[in-house]
Structure 1
Amino acid sequence: MILTAAIILFSFLEIVNSQALWYQPEQVHLSFGDNVSEVVVTWSTINDTKESIVEYGIGGMILRAKGTSTLFVDGGPNQHSQYIHRVTLPNLTPFSRYVYHCGSNFGWSPEFWFRSLSSDEDWSPQLAIYGDMGNENAQSLARLQEETQRGLYDAILHVGDFAYDMDTDNGAVGDAFMRQIESIASYVPYMTCPGNHEERYNFSNYRERFSMPGGSESIMYSFDIGPLHIISISTEVYYFMYYGIKSLVFQYEWLEEDLIKANLPENREKRPWIVVIGHRPMYCSTTDRDDCTHYETITRVGIPFLHVFGLEKLLYDYGVDVEIWAHEHAYERLWPIYDYQVYNGSYEEPYTNPGAPVHFTTGSAGCKEGRDDFNITRPPWSAYQSRDYGYTRLKAYNKTHLYFEQISDDKQGAVIDSFWIIKDSHGPYKYSEINWGKMDGLRLKSFV
């Protein structure tokens, strides 16, 4: 009798505990809101908690912000569902350490912290940048966790390809990945762009799980941080056109408008560095016979045969300084390049006042597909190559100096490559064919 009662009680407690877990926040991560002075906290619960709350504060003061949740149903046969919660924390005091937790009266997350940033341009942000990180063989993750929690970074840029793949096993792999990066993404804004591995169900796992500026209906956005204007685009609209060409055309037009605004004298004066991130590179010298190994990469020249909506000329014409890619599971730095021609600033100082954008690929964070090999013969436009697992750091010192370094996880965090980009002035390059009429029209419109 006593044994039976004990079994019943144990079973009841198991049910209560399992029910509680359905409401427990997980997969907590941050992103920027309308500007870097706003932080959006995102998390998931299996069941609907009816409310989405973040309690946060500095110096013992406790504030409470409420948001909303949406039901996300994975496209797989099991129709796995979860509620994704989003709460915006506005008007944060710059450069302050906020402690927070998120949840509801049904359950709360552990406490995390983040350092708020300033919307002003006169400070020096430091970013970690990488692409192609999976659940398996996430080689760089432990080092990134340690550095992030030490406060080394102001934000992360993950340049496409997550989990390998988030839709796998009815979204269970995506859930595991989001829990895995919580030790990074709950401490700094985790800014992203889609890669080819996010394609299933029209990128729904990517769109719904992350909270980028512009919302889930937009797969491109831009934001300002210090002297940087960072633009995130989807290269995938060029490769999955069975979802419709409309997305490609809309992104191209949006991108040109964003570049026009960024080049207005008052904007380029405040934030002279324009940086574009997208998943698939225009140039690479690996052996995998992927798109960037072809002379006419689609993102570079545009739709085959028609050669419309190509990105290389657009980014060159509007004076983009740096183009950051992933997709290739390696690190490769290029000399300043346009249309396969090298435009170094000088022989001695190639990245001082370069005559074209600087490209590099950083897709070696670690995934189950391993590393890519390089061609035996290095092309004349390729400055540095490495197959080491690792990631990139960027520090924007000021309006004239950017510093990059590549970290090798294989070599216990050693810096294996570093370079400065130095510019006395910013704007369209010497041979650009920018339509200044569009610039003037937008300038007039902006003053109306």
Structure 2
Amino acid sequence: MGLFSPGFPGSMEITWTTFNETEESTVEYGLWGGRLFELTAKGKATLFVDGGSEGRKMYIHRVTLTDLRPASAYVYHCGSEAGWSDVFSFTALNESTSWSPRFAIYGDMGNENPQSLARLQKETQVGMYDVILHVGDFAYDMHEDNGRIGDEFMRQIQSIAAYVPYMTCPGNHEAEYNFSNYRNRFSMPGQTESLWYSWNVGSAHIISLSTEIYFFLDYGVDLIFKQYEWLKKDLEEANKPENRAERPWIITMGHRPMYCSNNDKDDCTQFESYVSTVSKFSYQLMRRLFPGVDLELWAHEHTYERLWPVYGYKVFNGSIEQPYVNPKAPVHIITGSAGCRENHDTFVPNPRDWSAFRSTDYGYTRMQVHNTSHLYLEQVSDDQVSREGSPQFYNYEVDGLLQSLTDM
């Protein structure tokens, strides 16, 4: 069960899986406090055959709810006369550009050693977040055991994804069978099978990219050019003066970072990383034509790292006293330490001067887009919480920063 934003106002898409074919895909829902299930929406199911040796079949149901009342709470269940789910709730996204949405952000979370999962479940259910951004690498791995690991992972995140939109991008661990488990299990905006897309929330325009198209070339080099052309058009639209006035924050998310100071010999540890080299047209496009990309979110490294504003391996701080106020380059955040069977990564002893803060603790990132001029980020250390073992340390922050809107 998962909620996803289809990318257009007043809507929410609900996705779930059954192992038997049903005649209908139905969601019954209603306003919180109103008559239960007074509204009905129908969708359709598509057959997904896992690429493993058993060829397991499952039916992915998708139903889009429309004409939702902004910022209003709804209760719902889904299924058909063959059977119904538990009752869940969600709050329709606020459509105002003056709204201050709250996010939890992380990547690289598996169903084995999901260190941060319990706290994310609780914090979601008590209403701390409006949106989840999962920046690639799920389950470890969704295709394993003929897709059963994917089934188990989706059940684990249901206690998050059934309550707030769970927005994703593909990572390297989703590559098996041409990313088929990822493309079928998640429902992102647009017509690219969730590989890349953009959407608006509050005063932010969020762009999700696939870094994996640069590494899995057997699945088609044409995807590189398709994503580039799509990105060019998307940024042109987002940077029209009337659109930038409404949504001045431009935020990107992609799995493999351009820069990092880990010592595991991953791509981002190289001075000229493959992501920044092969995708240079895309990123030069962002910088050269549309220099207002403010924040870039990454994962892949099982650590947390905050960079100074950087472009081309050079630091462009706003000032010595206020480096994140009106910087001349995007801020990069790597948040891939939610917890998985591969445990932590480590760092090189002496990072380059663009690295501002590093932590090997398990954890996840919180972000709030306060308004058109201020955005707040903090990293929560799950390790610190666990070590202290006391409720007063529940919201332990290992890193926090306040960034003012880039003005270039």
Equivalences for residues 72-221 of structure 1 within 5 A: 72-215=48-191, 217-221=193-197
Which of 403, 408, 414 is residue 381 of structure 2 equivalent to? 408
Matches of 1:50 and 1:315, distance apart in 2: 46
Matches of 1:87 and 1:206, distance apart in 2: 18
Matched, 1:313 2:287: no
Q: Aligned-pair distance for 1:300?
A: 1.1
Which of 288, 306, 313 is residue 264 of structure 2 equivalent to? 288
Q: Answer with 34-43 or 153-162: which moved more.
A: 34-43
Q: Deviations over 1:212-248 (max 9, x none)?
A: 1124635110000000000001000000111111001
Matches of 1:127 and 1:400, distance apart in 2: 17
* Corresponding residue number in structure 1 for 2:326: 353
Matches of 1:217 and 1:173, distance apart in 2: 21
Matches of 1:29 and 1:250, distance apart in 2: 28
| Alpha-carbon contact 1:299-1:311 (below 8 Å) kept | no
| Alpha-carbon contact 1:36-1:225 (below 8 Å) kept | no
Matches of 1:130 and 1:284, distance apart in 2: 16
Q: Deviations over 1:115-162 (max 9, x none)?
A: 111222111000000000001000000000000000110010000000
* Corresponding residue number in structure 2 for 1:21: none
TM-score, with length taken from structure 2: 0.95
Matches of 1:113 and 1:298, distance apart in 2: 42
Structure 1 residues 218 and 139: CA distance shift in structure 2, 3 A? closer
Matches of 1:332 and 1:36, distance apart in 2: 34
Q: Aligned-pair distance for 1:315?
A: 2.2
Matches of 1:76 and 1:116, distance apart in 2: 37
| Matched-pair identity in % | 58
Letter in 1 for 2:396: A
TM-score, with length taken from structure 1: 0.86
Aligned length: 394
Unaligned 5+ residue runs, structure 2?
A: 386-394
Equivalences for residues 269-348 of structure 1 within 5 A: 269-302=245-278, 309-317=280-288, 318=290, 319-348=292-321
Q: Aligned-pair distance for 1:34?
A: 3.1
Structure 1 residues 376 and 312: CA distance shift in structure 2, 3 A? same
Matches of 1:40 and 1:217, distance apart in 2: 14
Structure 1 or 2, whichever has the larger Rg, is 1
| Alpha-carbon contact 1:68-1:86 (below 8 Å) kept | yes
| Alpha-carbon contact 1:301-1:311 (below 8 Å) kept | no
Matches of 2:196 and 2:206, distance apart in 1: 11
For the residue of structure 2 that corresponds to 1:254, the secondary structure is helix
Letter in 2 for 1:334: L
Q: Deviations over 1:51-109 (max 9, x none)?
A: 00001111323201000000000001100110010000101111111000000001000
Structure 1 residues 182 and 36: CA distance shift in structure 2, 3 A? farther
| Alpha-carbon contact 1:198-1:206 (below 8 Å) kept | yes
Q: Deviations over 1:30-54 (max 9, x none)?
A: 0001325210000000001110000
* Corresponding residue number in structure 1 for 2:22: 49
Matches of 1:296 and 1:181, distance apart in 2: 36
Matches of 2:44 and 2:278, distance apart in 1: 39
Matches of 1:129 and 1:148, distance apart in 2: 12
* Corresponding residue number in structure 1 for 2:390: none
* Corresponding residue number in structure 1 for 2:401: 419
Q: Deviations over 1:148-190 (max 9, x none)?
A: 0001100100000000010001000000000010000000000
Letter in 2 for 1:335: W
| Alpha-carbon contact 1:298-1:310 (below 8 Å) kept | no
For the residue of structure 1 that corresponds to 2:383, the secondary structure is coil
Structure 1 residues 329 and 195: CA distance shift in structure 2, 3 A? same
Matches of 1:34 and 1:188, distance apart in 2: 14
Q: Deviations over 1:356-376 (max 9, x none)?
A: 000010000000000000001
Matches of 1:362 and 1:314, distance apart in 2: 24
Matched, 1:368 2:341: yes
Letter in 2 for 1:60: G
* Corresponding residue number in structure 2 for 1:384: 357
